[in-house]
Amino acid sequence: MEGRLPFLTRWSARRFSISVFALALAARLVALAVFQAKGIGDSYGRDLYFNLALSWLGYLPMPEFDATHPPLYTLLTAGLLGLLRTSSQLPVLVVQCFIGACSVLAMRRVASFLVDEKTARLAALWLALDPAVIFFTPQLQTETLFIGMILGFFWGLFFLWDKPLSWRHAALGLWGGLCVSCRSVFGAFPGFLFFVIWQSKGFARALFFCLLLAPGWFLPSALWTARNHEKYGKILPLSGQMGWTLYEGFTLDREVVRNHPHEMAAEAKANGVSQIEIGGYFYTKWKNFVQENPLQSLGIVVGKAVLYWRPWLYDPYTGWQRAIMGGYFTFLFSFALLGIAAARGSRAPWGAVYAVLLYHTAAHAVFLTTLRYRVPLEPFLCLLAAAGAAPYLTKRPRAS
């Protein structure tokens, strides 16, 4: 079998990197062309990032409130559009295709700390062709950027795993803080990382490792919070709609989830709740519900954690999309479980990978849970699946 897969074993590192980058970029550019030709991206809608960027550049009127989402994606979008002096979304999406292709190279480097070279290459190839990641690349959302950034964080984390504590750990913390400014859900990950390092390296190493991460980790959020306080006179760290996302998705009823945003918007309007206050308003409603219904709330959290890992899709995806992706995720999860079994007993820092999977599960068991919010975990699932599949793909047949 190795003779049929020479790129896993016999190609030079340079040749493989160029080839897998080109493959990943081609797949994403083709997806972008299809999305643009058929208007697919617009049919799924998007968050406010792009419109906020246009408003900051003067292409659209400034909204009443512009701190609805973490700022990094909007800032980078505004910077790119300002540099090119355009209001077109196409340059942003093309850059995302390149970020996605670069993430594949980062995947190989991250994997190299955990598995052998052939498995690392298989993980990179898997991510290059992962349909969930490709699907979100031509959309004006944070998934592509966040995947690249979180892989960069884990690259640095594994590189420094056994190194003496130094300023480089503080620099890694700053990169982690920028990741949080891209997706605020990543904010509390050092708490999970602390326990992984404690188990592997001891309490003192874990404590000082995380203390070095902390200043940089909180700096971008602190700057954005200070900006929001100066502009709105209110403490608004990262996102002004945290309470919205808590309340919106705190249910197991799909009909409620489907209708909640419209009902919540109507309720806020009827009660005269401004955009600045809307997060706090629904956070109070969520907190009151949890306090009054603790057992029901616990059931919702457990149920949402299970639903976070469902292999099937919900609307608005079509029947054939659900069938294809349901089959793919079942396949991916099956090999990822084999990868977990194969990694047992390894001295590599797999615990950090399991920590990020567990952490996102716990976070989205409370906040809104959708397939989109599991997409940033695809690189780690591809890595685990590659670890599970590699022994079968490269096993030589027995001589007769």
How many angstroms separate the CA atoms of 331 and 337, rounded? 10
pLDDT in tens, 132-163: 999 999 999 999 999 999 999 999 999 999 99
| pLDDT exceeds 70 at position 394 | no
Residue 2 CA: distances (Å) to CA of 7, 118, 221: 9, 10, 48
Question: In this model, does residue 109 exceed pLDDT 50?
Answer: yes
pLDDT tens by residue, 230-253: 999 888 888 888 888 889 888 888
Mean pLDDT over residues 284-292, rounded? 94
- In the predicted model, is pLDDT for residue 397 greater than 60? no
Least trusted range by pLDDT, from 41-45, 129-133, 249-253, 255-259: 41-45
Res. 400 pLDDT band, cuts 50 70 90? very low
Q: Which residue has the tokens 């874990």?
A: 206
pLDDT above 90 covers a percentage of the chain that reads 75
Q: What is the mean pLDDT of the chain?
A: 92
State the pLDDT at residue 19: 97
The confidence score (pLDDT) of residue 275 equals: 85
**C-alpha to C-alpha distances, 121 to 16, 26, 47, 230, 347, nearest whole angstrom:** 8, 18, 34, 48, 20
Looking at mean pLDDT, say which of 9-13, 179-183, 253-257 comes out highest.
Answer: 179-183
DSSP 39: T
Q: What share of the chain is helix, strand, coil (3-state, %, to 5)?
A: 75, 0, 25
Can you tell me the distance from the alpha carbon of 144 to that of 182, in angstroms, rounded to the nearest whole number? Answer: 10
Predicted local distance difference test score (pLDDT) of residue 7: 84
Biggest alpha carbon–alpha carbon distance for the chain:
79
Q: Is the pLDDT of residue 396 over 70?
A: no
Q: Is the pLDDT of residue 391 over 60?
A: yes
Q: Residue ranges per domain, the chain?
A: 2-393
Per-residue pLDDT of 308-366, as tens digits, reads: 999 988 777 788 888 999 999 999 999 999 999 999 989 999 999 999 999 999 999 99
